[in-house]
């Protein structure tokens, strides 16, 4: 479900206690806010409650007073909240290497307004995709990687992220392993995409390896990064069936399409405040 341009988003989470739904919805009713979408989930295993509400503001809406009243009403529930105004566009930095399909797809979706974001910069360890970024009017930062001094390159990366004020970093086929230090800095707000095949097929040419094993499906996984390589909390996954008639180049082509769609879906969920971290898992409301 796509968000309408005139709605606010209220997302919140707290311990599982009686009255959480009522506290949120009753406050919105008292403020004369019209709820257009409402989803919640109570995780009985972790004892955490999650809620996301979209609403339209009434005439004469006083945002500071609304925020103050909301904080006072939800304080007894130890509820952390995030309020996103209509038309808000997050600043995003995209990291790439040489493959262009995910970058091209994200920039296209930004240009047509499908993803509510402003890509502030593209960062790469190769110069190959600079023309694509420049065509979209986006600064391109080429930081070559010196294996003998990887921290120096990552300091340049982090400087751009900080200077642009990015709220989300997207690794759109950035084919380098981030250091534990950078992973910790980006924990919970950097999304990675990678192929999702069984068996694992790690290393070079995963689709060629998959062909040799005769796989019957190919897919992709988008997840938040952490210090465990490709094991961060999963946001979205995609899969399609294949058969013996699919050669390595066919698997690669199908994999590219799934990677683009899955990454765009995950980025969209994040930007629309649909994703909540729940230990090493995610809660994705109304995917």
CATH of the structural domain 90-284, one choice from 3.20.20.140, 3.30.70.330, 3.40.50.170, 3.30.590.10: 3.40.50.170
**Per-residue pLDDT tens for 95-126?**
999 999 999 999 999 999 999 999 999 999 99
CA distance 62 to 269: 28
Max Cα–Cα distance, the chain, nearest Å? 65
Contact status, residue 186 vs residue 168, Cβ threshold 8 Å: no
Host H or E run for residue 158:
helix 150-164
Q: How far apart are the C-alpha atoms of 181 and 129, rounded to whole Å?
A: 27
> Of the listed 128, 230, 250, 257, which one is catalytic?
230
Q: Both ends of the chain: CA-CA distance in Å?
A: 8
Q: Are 279 and 46 in contact (CB under 8 A)?
A: yes
| pLDDT classification of 232: cutoffs 50, 70, 90 | confident
Superfamily covering domain 8-84: ACT domain (3.30.70.260)
Q: Where in the chain is the domain with CATH 3.40.50.170?
A: 90-284
8 Å CB contact between 10 and 83: yes
**Residue (of 196, 186, 176, 167) closest to 262 by Cα position:** 196
Concerning whether 149 is annotated as a catalytic residue, the answer is no
Tokens of 229: 């390589």
Residue range(s) occupied by CATH 3.30.70.260 in the chain: 8-84
Residue 198: band (very low, low, confident or very high) from pLDDT cuts 50, 70, 90 = low
Task: Express each pLDDT in 30-86 by its tens digit.
Answer: 999 999 999 999 999 999 999 999 999 999 999 999 999 999 999 999 999 999 999
Round to whole Å and give the CA distance between 178 and 150.
9
3-state secondary structure of 132: helix
What are 99's two structure tokens? 């493959």
Dihedral of CA 84/88/91/94: which sign? positive
């Amino acid at each position: 479900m796509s968000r309408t341009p005139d709605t606010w988003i209220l997302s919140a989470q707290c311990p599982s206690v009686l009255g959480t739904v009522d506290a949120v919805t009753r406050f919105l009713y008292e403020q004369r806010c019209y709820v257009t979408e409402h989803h919640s989930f109570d995780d009985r295993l972790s004892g955490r409650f999650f809620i996301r509400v979209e609403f339209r503001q009434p005439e004469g809406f006083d945002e500071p007073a609304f925020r103050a009243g909301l904080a006072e009403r939800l304080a007894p529930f130890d509820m952390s909240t995030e309020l996103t105004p209509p038309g808000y566009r997050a600043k995003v930095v995209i990291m790439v290497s040489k493959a262009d399909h995910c970058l091209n797809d994200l920039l296209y979706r930004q240009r047509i307004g499908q993803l509510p974001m402003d890509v502030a910069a593209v960062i790469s360890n190769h110069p190959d995709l600079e023309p694509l970024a420049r065509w979209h009017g986006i600064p391109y930062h080429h930081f070559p990687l010196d294996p003998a001094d990887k921290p120096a390159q990552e300091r340049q990366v982090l400087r751009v992220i900080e200077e642009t004020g990015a709220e989300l970093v997207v690794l759109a086929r950035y084919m380098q392993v981030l250091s534990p230090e950078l992973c910790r800095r980006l924990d919970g707000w950097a999304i990675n995409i990678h192929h999702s095949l069984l068996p694992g097929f790690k290393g070079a040419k995963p689709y060629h390896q998959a062909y040799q094993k005769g796989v019957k499906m190919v897919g992709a996984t988008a997840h938040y990064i952490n210090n465990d390589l490709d094991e961060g909390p999963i946001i979205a996954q995609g899969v399609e069936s294949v058969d013996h008639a699919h050669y390595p180049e066919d698997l690669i082509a199908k994999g590219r399409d799934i990677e683009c769609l899955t990454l765009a879906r995950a980025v969209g969920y994040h930007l629309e405040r649909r994703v909540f971290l729940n230990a090493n898992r995610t809660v994705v409301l109304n995917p």
